[in-house]
Structure 1
Amino acid sequence: MKRLLALIATVAALALTAGAALAQALNAEGEVRRIDAANGKVTLKHGPISNLQLPAMTLVFKVADPSMLSQIKAGDNVRFAAEKINGQYTITAIQPK
């Protein structure tokens, strides 16, 4: 029983750590303008993205995992993380605010 409780506590701690890490990774905010699920792209009107040295603008991003697009819809305010992968601005994580 003690081992089970220790395991549950460990899993809970890991989940909290992962959640905090994701919150830090989602370092940009924007509004979903358009979703192009067929091509795995999303258009965002976003604020500055410091790691990409981008000012606020509207930009089309590729998504690293097209299944992320099912979590959002046009008009949603979102937090996201983006990187430049193979020369393309790519969303690596996204969630509605």
Structure 2
Amino acid sequence: MKTMIRFALTSVLVAAAALAAHAAEFSKGTVKKLDEKAGKVTIIHEELKNLEMPAMTMVFRVGDNAMLTKLKEGAKIEFIAERVNGKLTVTAIK
């Protein structure tokens, strides 16, 4: 029984460490263009490590259209981009 409990606890700790390693991190970028009607933002960004993507300029969907009201063209931002339902999506901005 003790062996099973130790195994279960070890499994939980390993899984938690793996999730932490893959957690998205904020990347730096500059807002190039906003498209509020389409719910999209064009960002000139640095490497996106969590998506294994080099620095470039690209269009992202936003997870919440309210994010667009906080942005202005030319603004320097830090953001998290993730694949949501197969689409590159900005999920957080600071």
- TM score, norm. by length of structure 2: 0.72
Deviation at 1:27, TM superposition (A): 1.4
Q: How many residues matched? A: 72
**2:83 aligned residue:** 84
Query: 1:92 & 1:43 partners in 2: Cα distance?
Result: 14
Which residues of structure 1 form unaligned runs of 5+?
1-23
- Off by >4 Å, runs of 4+ in structure 1: none
- TM score, norm. by length of structure 1: 0.70
Query: 1:47 & 1:25 partners in 2: Cα distance?
Result: 14
Report the secondary structure of 1:69's partner residue: helix
1:28 lines up with 2:27 in the alignment: yes
The percentage of counterpart residues that share the same residue type is 44
- Letter of the structure 2 residue corresponding to residue 41 of structure 1: K
Query: 2:71 & 2:51 partners in 1: Cα distance?
Result: 23
Report the secondary structure of 2:72's partner residue: coil
Which residues of structure 2 form unaligned runs of 5+?
1-22
Q: Check whether the contact 2:24–2:50 (CA below 8 A) recurs between aligned residues.
A: no
Q: Greater CA radius of gyration, 1 or 2?
A: 2
**2:72 aligned residue:** 73
Query: 1:59 & 1:25 partners in 2: Cα distance?
Result: 18
Greater share of helix residues, 1 or 2? 1
